[in-house]
Amino acid sequence: MKRWSSVICLLLAAALLCGCGQLLEGEYESVRRHVSGEQQGAESVPLIRVTTYEGIYDALLTMIQNGDEIGVIRISSYDGDVEADVNRACMEVTNDSPLGAWAVYYISSTVNRIIAYYDAEISITYKRTALEIQSVVDVNTTAALEGELRYLMGSYSSGEAIRLPAIILQSRDVAEWVEEIYYEDPTVTAVLPTVIATVYPETGRTRILDLQFQYPYTVARMTNMQSMAESAAEEIADRSREAGEDGPALLQACRELADTVEFDAERELSGETDWSRTDIAYGALIDGRATGEGFAMALDLICDDLGIECRVVRGRRDSVDHCWNLVRLGEDWYHVDAAAFDLDGAAQSFLRRDSEMVGRYWWDVNSYEVCEGPLSYASFAPEPPGENGTPGENEPGTEPGETASPEPTEPGTEPTETPGGTGDDGTE
């Protein structure tokens, strides 16, 4: 009697299993199986039902996306070598998928056959936390990536993982992209972060870009530095507006920088590339000491308040790395080097044309606007006093009877054009 009871139970179990196999054929189903007995109260184990290789692959990605460390993939009605294909899917997900390559150390599997189906027991070892995996950001366009970079820089974020089409990464280097944002918009961040960018995997149409930003100070301190620099720039802009329209206001701003900021020649001549406060707007506007880069970043911030279009130029002066500005007055662009006001005189540093800069200065002419406008320092500078000692008619900011002095220039500072200077293509 017991023998027949055992046979009947086996037949019923087989029938039920065959029925389940027919029901799930061609389907992808995910459930969570709860552990009972001694392990009762533990977390549920994901159970994903599949029928194809693509289903196995996607099931592994689902487990990774959810941060599951263990799970079961139930494979039924499968056409192929189940164990070999499970191992292959584990390798491909780990090495070739963006999420797997970025988040996973390795995936191990054990395949068990249970009459009408197979259970693949999966174990995943991660190199990212579940929160990091959930925080991956998806972008699909170049504009969206630039917006995300601006957000990360402005919030002084330590980094982020971004999933994006590989073609976006092929267009430009991310670290250089961050530099361009920093130099083009002085309001984004107080300091230029050091960028570590790693792409996962090395090939493929879609990648994960892992960005890490390193800063010299705490977020609170850098936020305060940016606020202080912007306030100081606004104050200079307000005083400069008293001189008149854009041209005189710009000249006044440059003069105030030259009068109040000490040029850090030692730092500039050293060629050091490590981070320094004299290279940022805060160094010029708050500390009162700056390199050419610090002067240029400060003037860019002031021009932003004045409503004058301005750019920071990264090039060389007398064969030394140096920064200055391009400004737009009317429809034309001009060179302005506020750091050189005390070195060369305002006449040699304010509203200069490309042709006047060649020799002492070098820059990539293909990356910046052409500067050949009709204005110059003389367009806004006070006229020399006449024989009777009265100021010229065009001198701004003088009262009747006041005597004005011409802007002093140091002898022997006229730039000389040397052979082999900047050519049409910006090469030396």
Q: How confident is the model at residue 395, as a pLDDT?
A: 37
Give the domain ranges of the chain: 23-129, 136-214, 219-379
Domains 23-129 and 219-379 fall in the same CATH topology:
no
Tokens coding 312: 């920071």
Query: How is domain 23-129 classified at the CATH fold level?
Result: Ribosomal Protein S8; Chain: A, domain 1 (3.30.1370)
* φ, ψ at 244 (rounded to 5°): 135, -145
The top-level CATH class assigned to 219-379 is alpha beta
d(CA 216, CA 200): 27
Give the three-class secondary structure for 21.
Answer: helix
d(CA 284, CA 276): 12
CA 205 to chain centre: 22
Instruction: Give, for 101, the enclosing helix (H) or strand (E).
Output: helix 98-103
Q: How confident is the model at residue 47, as a pLDDT?
A: 95
In this prediction the pTM is: 0.77
Backbone CA torsion sign across 428, 192, 216, 214:
negative
Cis peptide bond prior to 165, omega within 30° of 0: no
d(CA 95, CA 183): 37
Instruction: Give, for 396, the enclosing helix (H) or strand (E).
Output: none
CATH number of 136-214: 3.30.110
Residue 56 is which amino acid? I
Q: How confident is the model at residue 214, as a pLDDT?
A: 96
- Give the pLDDT means over successive 10-residue stretches in the chain (428 positions): 42 40 41 42 78 97 96 95 97 98 97 95 97 96 96 96 94 92 95 96 95 96 97 98 96 97 93 84 96 97 97 96 97 97 93 95 96 95 52 37 37 36 39
Pair 209, 174: CB distance under 8 Å: yes
Q: How many helices (H) and strands (E) does the chain have?
A: 15, 16
Q: How confident is the model at residue 384, as a pLDDT?
A: 55
Instruction: Give, for 195, the enclosing helix (H) or strand (E).
Output: strand 194-200
Pair 201, 221: CB distance under 8 Å: no
Residue with tokens 């140091």: 410
